[in-house]
Amino acid sequence: MGLTSETTVYVVAAVAAVCVALLVWVWPRLASRGVRHVLGRLAAIGVTQVTIIAAFACWLNSSYQFFGSWGELFGNVDTAPVGVTQAADHTGDGSIGGVTVKGALVQPAGDEQLKRVSGLPTGNPAVNGKVESVKVIGRRTGVVDPAFVYLPPQYFQKAYARQRFPVVVALSGYPGSIFNLAQYLRVSQTAGQLQKSGQMQPTIMVMIRPTIAPPRDTECVNVPGGPQTETFLAKDLPQALKSVYRVGHDASAWGVMGYSSGGTCALQLTMRNPHVYTTAAGLSPDYRIKDDPTTGNLFGSGLGRVNRVNGHDLMWRLKHLPAPQVSVLVADSKHGERGYPQTLAFIKAVKAPMRVASILPESGSHNFPTWVREMPAALKWMNQQLTFPQDVVPRHVPKKGNSTVRAEGTETKKPTAGTRK
């Protein structure tokens, strides 16, 4: 039984119900004052409480997908195949489902979670688009992380067959999952509706979690001697996507967004790696990363610790380092969220050539209903920053001697509407 399956929830709930019934049945027999009977009562209460809590925890995890498997729950995660570091780049057409390419950095994954998401496109992908369930393999880090990839209808249409598409990477909070991004934040559904109505250019949406070493919250930090989260998200992930999908190769075609700690990560990645991501949207973010019980020691010790801590403090970076040439959007509610004053201070601290936009509703909480309200505006704003078409796929034509030559004039950059200024 999978950790997130309904069968597991029902079985654990049934065990809890049986324990409650047994407690009621045996309680009169444990009513004496002897030590043995007192210990029996304590044990019966303890077992019953544990099973009830376990049933509730299984239901909660099944609903929100905090941990996707038993292995993740106990800290055992996949590692990349040995041969991955030798994998060559691919120029595939994105048709991942059902096909496993040895050494590919993006592999098909089970769709158990995907089947539970409502409102996903179905039918002809050239008309409705498609969402794929994959796992991304980090060539440098050895990380294997699940992801959902939304491909717009244009990706499958002949008129766009040689176009590369802009990309928005959507990050979950902690201990969130890609299921939360798809089901509760409704990333692909919202993007699909905006694109269909002409309010957003055709864009590939990649839903992934920054928690690469569950259950530890590594934020977006390269932990000394530990998980290299920043490297995975800033180097491995773009390389893997470029090797399989027709995505833009220039940073102007790449954006990253997220909610809660995922929003923190989006801002961190863009400001620290402007050559990879030029646009970010943080919904209810923090502006510095610090240690807590879920993260452990993120920055190590010794003389380098202070520099590492400061490097992940965005306010410190704005004050002491040159501003990167990026565009960021931040969202926080005036009433109902604790980060509003920090968000105002961040907006005030931004200086050229960096640009900042904001979504500041009068009220809202640190939850999905608030972020869902902010999503359309955030995506439309990001759409205005990213270039499309970013470039075109080189076309090769056959030549005598079984060699190929690139067709003349097939590698161009053609900024149009939505081009980042």
- Residue 244 CA: distances (Å) to CA of 237, 238, 239, 263, 351: 11, 10, 9, 26, 37
Alpha helices, H only, 187-303 = 187-196, 229-231, 237-244, 261-272
pTM tops 0.95, yes or no = no
The packing angle between helices 187-196 and 368-385, to 10°, is: 50
Q: What integer pLDDT is reported at residue 353 of this predicted model?
A: 97
pLDDT, one tens digit for every residue, the chain (421 residues): 666 667 887 888 898 899 899 888 888 888 777 888 888 888 888 998 998 998 888 777 665 555 655 655 665 544 333 222 222 333 344 344 333 445 689 999 988 889 889 999 999 999 999 999 999 999 999 999 999 999 999 999 999 999 999 999 999 999 888 999 999 999 999 999 999 999 999 999 999 999 999 889 999 999 999 999 999 999 999 999 999 999 999 999 999 999 999 999 999 999 999 999 999 999 999 999 999 999 999 999 988 999 999 999 999 999 999 999 999 999 999 999 999 999 999 999 999 999 999 999 999 999 999 999 999 999 999 999 998 876 777 765 555 444 333 333 333 343 444 444 4
- Taking residue 305's Cβ as centre, other Cβ atoms within 10 Å add up to 14
**Alpha carbon of 17 to those of 2, 24, 121, 366: distances in Å?**
21, 11, 39, 34
- For the segment 287-340, what is each residue's pLDDT rounded down to a tens digit? 999 999 999 999 999 889 999 999 999 999 999 999 999 999 999 999 999 999
In this structure, whether the domain defined by 86-385 belongs to CATH 3.40.50.1820 is answered with yes
Half-sphere exposure of 177 (CA within 13 A, CB side): 22
pLDDT of residue 413: 41
Q: Which tokens hold the place of 411?
A: 């590698």
pLDDT at 69: 58
Q: Are 125 and 99 in contact (CB under 8 A)?
A: no
DSSP per residue over 128-163, as a string? H-EEEEEEEE-TTT-BEEEEEEEE-GGGGSGGGTTB
Domain boundaries, the chain: 6-64, 86-385
Q: What span, in angstroms and rounded, lies between the C-alpha atoms of 115 and 283?
A: 27
Convert 324-385 into a string of H (helix), E (strand) and C (coil): CCCEEEEECCCECCCCHHHHHHHHHHCCCCCEEEEECCCECCCCHHHHHHHHHHHHHHHHHH
Greatest alpha-carbon pair distance for the chain in Å reads 97
For residues 375 and 236, what is the distance between their CA atoms, to the nearest angstrom?
26
Angstrom CA distances, 322 to 24, 317, 325, 336, 389, stand at 68, 8, 9, 33, 30
**For residues 7 and 403, what is the distance between their CA atoms, to the nearest angstrom?**
56
Q: Which residue has the tokens 């950059």?
A: 413
Q: Rounded to whole angstroms, what are the CA distances from 86 to 89, 103, 247?
A: 10, 7, 22
Structure tokens belonging to residue 318:
């704005």
